[in-house]
Amino acid sequence: MKYCCTLFAIAFIVLFQNNSAAQKVNLKDGYPNSIKPVGVIKGLDDSTLLEVVQRQTFRYFWHFAHPVSGLSRERSNTIRADYFWDYANEAYDEPNFSKGTYGPEACAIGGTGFGIMATIVAVERGWIGRDTALRRLVKMVDFLNKAESFHGIFPHFMNGETGKTIPFGKLDDGADIVETSYLLMGFLCAREYFNTDAPLEKYFRNRVNELWRSANWNWHAKGGNTLFYWHWSPLQGFDMNFPIRGWNECLITFIMSASSPNHPISPDVYFNSFVNSASYFNGKKYYDIKLPLGFEYGGPLFFSHYTFMGIDPHNLESFQVNYWEQNLNHTLINRQWCIDNPKKYKGYSKECWGLTAGDSYKGYVAHCPQEDLGVIQPTAALSAFPYTPGYSMEALRHFYYDLGDKIWSEYGFVDGFSIDKNWYAKSHLAIDQGPIVVMIENYRSGLLWKLFMNIPDVQNGLKKLGFKSPSIK
């Protein structure tokens, strides 16, 4: 299963950004504890370019992880906000009267799950050693087993030093089952990967099992078979009152919930809450491309990424919907919107496309055709590599070679940019960086798909919800 370790046993002459001195960098350091960043390297073939981008993006999770817990920090910058929603609401012209700051201690539970999956890629590709990675993962799982959770469900954001909840909003100061599903997807992949009889690997698997078996998903169904609620608070209860309705990024939450060995939801919860919602089925054509599910024009592209970092969409079917077709067509529609460019933003083209959630010049926005501010998130096109490899490679080469002086950094590409506004983010977000590493790897090798789809609990959950797939035994 190991990849050839000679691919990057060559030295490049690299010019670092804002540094005129040329420096020789070996991209294969022999299982280093430290991964050196590189600048824009001329003349790379497609395979080498993918590896450079994956490797440098992974640095966000390896070198920028919280030093105490090892969890993935939510973002690389500090913003003015008492709650994350204060920052997000600025994008919609709602005044932010916050006096506090947000960022340095905030770790993203979902982003941590994505970072765990990226760490598996790093080991498999030889960027870090297996034992080195495992020690980091053990540090994380030990921390989380002692950290604050609510019926085994973790909050959206957590203080990486104390393990206490960082409220997402006034009513959202407790459990978040969606973010927890991303976290546990990552841990289950790692449990599957670190599968030897070595004492530390056995210890790690046992600690992951403790988290997995403790998560009480059924609590969020209020003991019924109707709706599934995103949030619960020990102080507010279910006052957030936010049931999970489809189609969106939450399919994985229902799969994980149905797969639980100790606290599974009934399939009726999935059908009644997610599938039987007004925004689930679509069936319309946009640019003569049929969209089976979702909002008008498909919504932000992360809908086609987050769940499918672990779930293999190839020939995955339910309710007469083919999920490969859904994700491919969603991507094509999103790209064509940018090519058509009805708002005439400068910079949009067949090589510069991809609308999804991320930072903008107005704050955090779920960019999509209905909320198009002229901002491109590199993660949108790059995490779509499994679906549109040719178009995604065009975008990657444009981002790297044409815009690299503005958007390429020590942690890969910055979170977003707007050529129209001459705005280029300084930030990186865990939930955007992680899918780049993982989805490119799924395109290259199917690694995470193979790991996750091989898990018996996951297969049982998929069967319970009525999914069909060649991966289901």
Strands (DSSP E) found in 189-274: 231-232
Instruction: Summarize pLDDT for 79-91 with one digit per residue, the tens.
Output: 888 888 788 888 7
Between CA 251 and CA 230 the distance in angstroms is 12
Of residues 334 and 223, the one with the higher pLDDT is 334
pLDDT at 1: 41
3-state secondary structure at position 132: helix
Which residues pair with residue 159 across a beta bridge? 106
**For all residues of the chain together, what is the average pLDDT?**
92
What average pLDDT does the segment 309-334 reach?
97
Q: What is the pTM of this model?
A: 0.93
Between CA 200 and CA 192 the distance in angstroms is 14
Q: Return all residues near 344 (Cβ < 8 A) that are at least 6 apart.
A: none
Q: What domains are defined for the chain?
A: 11-464 (1.50.10.140)
Q: Return all residues near 167 (Cβ < 8 A) that are at least 6 apart.
A: 83, 155, 157, 173
Q: How far apart are the first and last CA of the chain?
A: 21
17 half-sphere exposure, CB direction, 13 A CA radius:
17
Contact 438, 119 (CB under 8 A): no
pLDDT bin (cut points 50, 70, 90) of residue 402 is very high
The first and second tokens of residue 144, run together, are 């989380």
Instruction: Summarize pLDDT for 418-434 with one digit per residue, the tens.
Output: 999 999 999 999 999 99
Instruction: Summarize pLDDT for 50-85 with one digit per residue, the tens.
Output: 999 999 999 999 999 999 999 999 999 998 888 887
Whether pLDDT at 134 is above 70: yes
Between CA 250 and CA 304 the distance in angstroms is 10
